[in-house]
Structure 1
Amino acid sequence: MLNVASREQVRIGDTTITYLPDGEVRLYPTEVFPDSAPDGWARHTAYLDEDGRLPVSVGSFLVRTPSYAALIDLGLGEVDFEVPDFASFRGGRLLRSLAEEGLRAEDIDVVLFTHLHHDHVGWTSNVAPSPGMALGEVGGLTFARAMHYVQRAEWDHWFGVEDVVGPHLEAVQRPLTEGIRFVDDPDFDLPGLEVLPTAGHTPGHASVIVSDPGAEQRLLILGDVMHTQAQVSDPDWNFKFDVDPDRSRSTRREIVQRFAGGNDIIAGGHFAGSVFGRIGSPAMTHRWSTWNLAGQPAPVDTAAV
């Protein structure tokens, strides 16, 4: 049985990638993974908590290079609510997690969104909307000095749309409107960060490959290509809010195939226990191995065997 992930860090050359916790979500697994019903979780019970819910980590990845500090995604924000028979949501730690790294909001040079679902944009402004709560006065961007990037297709999909899982019109879209930049524009240039289009969960979803000139090893930040390690072994399981289920499924298969058995580190921001690991070879029944702080893979899928 795993809990949500705590702060973790890996190094690639002169670049560090640190998982900064913001909060957690507790999901009813067969509600959010309809393909897993009725008994698919029998293979993955160790990923569930004592109440049978799936604990999902929520936070941000801090990428620090010699030339900039970037945040990949912005968590849930300060929220605490439950959707009956579906999930509970709690966030609010991100700025404290950042301070524990010796950084303030004004020290962040870049914010890069994998996509614009509410649990990835919670700290865009000072307000994180939640059901049944008054919005409050919305100020400017939390990371006001940073350049904010997303794929153009993602921005176009959500712009002007009010949706419970998408970026709030007033708290997220309005503060971003004047300054948003697009990773698919010709002038996008962040050494060490490669944006990998991985549409399916959303139309403009992206994963991020982190590299460093001094290292052969790379790190892939998945975004929401996967929400749980169970999807490494069961890549056909779609998430309830995947906008294009067929493409989401094919994207996940492609990622598993491309990175299986390799030396690259995989970072699943929603994974419980540890967010860092590797994808094992197709011959393995359980294909996820966690990454320990000594820089070596732990036994394959110890949570699920």
Structure 2
Amino acid sequence: MPQPAKRSRISVGDTTITYLPDGFGAHNPDTLFPGVDWTTRPGDLTDGQFVLTFGSFLVQAGGQRILVDLAAGKIDVDVPGVAHLKGGALLRNLAAEGLSAADIDTVVYTHLHLDHVGWTSDVAPLPGTPAAHAPSGLTFARARHLMSQAEWQYWTTRDADLGGPDAEAVLKPLTGVVEFVASGDTIAPGVTVEATPGHTPGHLAVVVRDPAGAGTEEVWIVGDIVHSTAQIADPALTFASDVAPDQARQVRDRVLGRPDTVIAAGHFTDQVFGRVTQAGDARTWTPAGAPSTSR
């Protein structure tokens, strides 16, 4: 049965990418992927629930330390009819790599759904519930905080829905601090961002290449382009919170079809790093990556 992913690492030249788990969600599968007959897909569920891992990717490139996404934060809550959500392990897993919050130079948000922003400040609001008190500051106070301008505008010009960022715990602390990046921008040696809208209007992927140019393989940290290996076998599966499902499908097909690419998918169970191979119309996921041990 699928289980939450553990800490693991891959390398691209001298650059390392480490997955730092924060927690997991045990979801109602009919809520995540409406209209699917799960009796025909028993291997995708754990005790009748659809498990998604929550976590961040630590990219160490050219002396810089970058976190891609900030997971769910310190939460342990039932959302009736939706999921049981539990987080809180990110800083412990960062410490196991010999690092603290003060060592992070840059935070990059693929997008601002609540399970990607939970460690923005010292308050992790529960889904659908306003923050109980004002945060005292950013968790990664010494870091630049980057996202696309389209993502920021989308969430700051509308009322947040159930999955959106809390105004007090996320948006307010970032106001005046957030910096905008555009598709193709370089944020560290060999590390760029690419526009991948569909799940949200300003969704980004983070692409890691060998800065020395010794190889052609790339690592794409895909955020919520894809949530589960079930979408690799069946790319028509539509995630419930995709803002533009057709666009999300097009982006998913484009990214999963790239040659010489390792996919880093932070919601996957068991192993978040892997390669997608295609034979005819069939796509197959092959896990990659090694367990990470503290230094």
Q: Compute the displacement of 1:283 (Å).
A: 3.0
Alignment partner, residue 38 of structure 1 = 37
Q: TM-score under structure 1 normalisation? A: 0.89
Say which SS state the counterpart of residue 182 (structure 2) adopts: coil
Shift of residue 161 of structure 1? 3.5
Deviation at 1:186, TM superposition (A): 9.6
Among 68, 76, 86, the alignment partner of 1:80 is 76
Offset of residue 292 of structure 1: 4.2
Correspondence 1:202-241 to 2 at 5 A: 202-214=200-212, 215-216=214-215, 217-241=217-241
Distance 1:187 1:113 in 2: 14
- Aligned residue for 1:199, secondary structure, equals coil
Displacement after TM superposition at 1:287 (Å): 1.1
Match of 1:198 in 2: 196
Asked whether the equivalents of residues 201 and 243 of structure 2 are also in contact (C-alpha less than 8 Å), the reply is yes
Amino acid at match of 1:140: G
Match for residue 285 of structure 2? Answer: 288
Distance apart, 1:85 and its partner CA? 2.2
Relative to the length of structure 2, the TM-score reads 0.92
**Partners in 1 of 2:50 and 2:183 — Cα distance?**
38
Q: State the distance in 1 between where 2:289 and 2:204 align.
A: 26
3-state secondary structure, aligned to 1:34: coil
Question: Relative to 1, partners in 2 of residues 1:186 and 1:250: Cα closer, same or farther, differing over 3 Å?
Answer: closer
- Offset of residue 237 of structure 1: 1.0
What is the aligned residue count? 287
Matched residue of 1:11: which SS? strand
Counterpart Cα distance in 2 of 1:127 and 1:292: 32
Structure 1: give runs of 5+ residues left out of the alignment: 295-305
CA contact (8 A) 1:201 1:242 kept: yes
Alpha-carbon distance in 2 for matches of 1:288, 1:189? 29
Provide, for residues 78-105 of structure 1, a one-character-per-residue CA deviation record: whole Å limited to 9, x for no partner.
0011112221110001111111110011
Which of these residues, 143, 146, 150, is aligned with residue 146 of structure 1?
143
> The residue matched to 1:281 in structure 2 has which SS?
strand
Instruction: From the superposition, tell whether residues 249 and 286 of structure 1 become closer, same or farther in structure 2 (CA, over 3 Å).
Output: closer
Q: Distance in 2 between matches of 1:75 and 1:231?
A: 21
Distance 1:238 1:185 in 2: 25
Q: How much is the aligned-residue C-alpha RMSD, in angstroms?
A: 1.9
**Of 52, 55, 66, which aligns to 2:48?**
52
Cα distance, 1:133 vs. partner? 7.5
Closer/same/farther in 2, CA of residues 161 and 45 from structure 1, 3 Å limit: same
| 2:86 counterpart of 1:90 | yes
The CA deviation at 1:190 is 2.6
CA contact (8 A) 1:160 1:169 kept: no
Q: Which shifted more, 265-274 or 189-198? A: 189-198
Give the drift of 1:67. Answer: 2.1
Aligned amino acid, residue 220 of structure 2:
L
Structure 2 Cα separation of the partners of residues 6 and 198 of structure 1: 26
Q: Distance in 1 between matches of 2:233 and 2:185?
A: 38
Query: Per-residue displacement from partner, 1:213-259 (whole Å, max 9, x unpaired)?
Result: 234121111100011011011111111111111111111122222x2
Q: Match for residue 107 of structure 1?
A: 103
Q: Once the two structures are aligned, what percentage of the paired residues are identical? A: 44
Query: Using a 3 Å threshold, how does the CA distance of structure 1 residues 126 and 120 change in structure 2: closer, same or farther?
Result: same
CA distance in 1, matches of 2:185, 2:29: 41
Q: Secondary structure of the equivalent of 1:204?
A: coil
Letter in 2 for 1:101: E
Cα pair 1:266 1:276 within 8 Å, conserved: yes
Conserved 8 A contact 1:162-1:169: no
Residue of structure 2 equivalent to 1:14: 14
- 1:121 paired residue number: 117
Distance 1:292 1:63, change over 3 A: closer
Is residue 270 of structure 1 aligned with residue 267 of structure 2? yes
CA 1:189/1:286 → structure 2, altered by over 3 Å: closer, same or farther? closer
Equivalent-residue separation in structure 1 for 2:108 and 2:95 (angstroms)? 19
Closer, same or farther: CA 185–207 of 1 in aligned 2, 3 Å: closer
Name the CA shift for 1:134/1:167 in 2 (closer, same or farther; >3 Å). Answer: closer
Structure 1 residue 189 displacement after superposition: 4.1
> How far does the alpha carbon of each residue in 1:85-136 deviate from its partner, in whole angstroms, 9 at most, with x for none?
2211100011111111100111000000000000000000000001557612
Residue 38 of structure 1 aligns with an amino acid whose one-letter code is: D
Query: Helix, strand or coil for the counterpart of 1:278?
Result: strand
